[in-house]
Amino acid sequence: MIALFMFVVVLILLLIGIPVAFVFGTVSIVFAFLIPELGFEVFEVLPFRIFGIMSNTTLMAVPLFIAMGLVLEKSKMAERLLISMSALFRDVRGGLAVSVVLVGAMLAASTGIVSASVVMMSVIALPLMLKAGYDKGLASGTVAASGTLGQIIPPSIILIILGDVMSVSVGDLFKGAVLPGLVLVGLYLAYILTVSYLKPEVAPVAKDIQDVSAKEIILSIVPPLLLMVAVLGSIFAGIASPTESAAFGVVGALVLSVLNNSLSFSMVKYASLETVKLSGMIFMILIGATAFSLVFNELGGSDLILEFFAHDIANVWVFIGVAMLSIFILGFFIDFIEISFIIVPILVPVMAAFGIDPIWFAVLIALNLQASFLTPPFGLSLFFLKGAAGDTIKTLEIYKGIIPFIFLQLLALGLVVLFPDLVFAFL
């Protein structure tokens, strides 16, 4: 019970807004100090755990993929891609929204960084959609939801983190997430086209989109596709590890920036500094979570949860339902990284006791965590969108527009639960 109380204290402090790494570390130290049978001896193995984290070759892919995404963000690739896609679908009702979803999927497969995708499309696509007469709710919902596709479509940072936390192959996770990601894209497109057909006034045909030549379309679409195929294809074919492919992706992103005449010292400096900031945040949280898990497990927290699910309830579907519902609800209030480092390690022993396939379960978690970017009041994509859009869209209109896409994500999650072969198709 002390372990569960410790867990509740951590959640409360996170909801208050105290930085995550400090919450983990401070709570761990305080409980170790207050409980005589623990003492600070529990942290004797912490340096070895930290050394293991720092020397983990799988986690090395995280800063590399972040750097790749940041370089592509500044290379003007997204802007050219969106303009070309908009021109291709300008005669289709709802075509602008369709182009935003497709560009979001391509950016997800090229960068994997949600914040960059949402901000770029908020700045570039949102004004075009509003000028064309799109409903503000549909426009903002499409931009926010499309930007979060980087959570499930490889190379996804969350899949790399889950691979490490759950001790499964990141390459297999990438393969397993491909089809569920495409299913989610298909659901988005089906919803947009259906709404556009039933309510033509919410998504009119955008006739005033500028003409783009076939050559310009090819030059804007083919390079990111080639980079995507090179990075993911080398992983799927077994030619390179995710870390090696990430390094190749950084080189490829730099080459694309040279071709787009956007490579400069200031751009490289920006990408380098932001990579250090984002990577440092993730690894600090991981170190704090390691300290938390040492104390939590020593207090018997994991054993208590394992006993409850595996023996008291002893029903695999109840466990899956409770796990998914818990992650979904927590996603309203705390970030996906915290959930990955707090909740997932607690669920892993129960998952193993039930004999659940870890790849399938990890993809379910990733799909579920994607919704955390969209669920108010603390959905990060909503903040990114509102910050970029300014006063052109009200917060209430954003919340209204995102609700259908949250239900679509839950539908995709349900489909993966009912049809596990969606995950195993490429394995």
Mean pLDDT of all residues in 320-335: 85
User: Given a cut of 90, is residue 58 above it in pLDDT?
Assistant: no
Domain residue ranges in the chain: 2-424
Highest-confidence segment of 36-40, 83-87, 346-350: 346-350
Looking at per-residue pLDDT, the higher value among 94 and 76 belongs to 94
Quote the crossing angle between the two packed helices 2-16 and 265-298, to the nearest 10°. Answer: 150
pLDDT band at 86 (very low <50, low <70, confident <90, very high): confident
Quote the crossing angle between the two packed helices 61-73 and 242-259, to the nearest 10°. Answer: 20
203 contacts: CB under 8 Å, gap ≥ 6: 93, 94, 96, 97, 134, 135, 138, 192, 195, 196
First to last CA, the chain: 41
Place of tokens 């077994």: 238
CB 75 within 8 A of CB 262: yes
Other CB atoms within 10 A of residue 221 CB: 18
Note the pLDDT of residue 167: 87
User: Given a cut of 80, is residue 288 above it in pLDDT?
Assistant: yes
Looking at per-residue pLDDT, the higher value among 372 and 171 belongs to 171
Q: How far is CA 126 from CA 80, 145, 212, 382, 393, in A?
A: 15, 13, 19, 13, 10
What tens digit of pLDDT does each residue of 213-261 get? 777 778 888 888 888 888 888 888 888 888 888 888 889 889 888 888 8
User: Given a cut of 90, is residue 414 above it in pLDDT?
Assistant: yes
Per DSSP (E only), the strands in 6-86 are none
Greatest extent of the chain over all pairs of C-alpha atoms, in Å = 74
Note the pLDDT of residue 209: 67
Note the pLDDT of residue 370: 85
Q: Is the link from the previous residue into 242 a cis peptide, with omega within 30 of 0?
A: no
pLDDT band at 277 (very low <50, low <70, confident <90, very high): confident
Mean pLDDT of all residues in 386-409: 86
Residue type, 316: V
Tell me which of 192-196, 284-288, 325-329, 416-420 is least confident. 284-288
Q: Percent of the chain at pLDDT above 90?
A: 16
Nearest to 293 by CA among 27, 99, 9, 13: 27
Tell me the average pLDDT of the chain. 84
Other CB atoms within 10 A of residue 120 CB: 27
Nearest to 184 by CA among 328, 325, 321, 368: 368
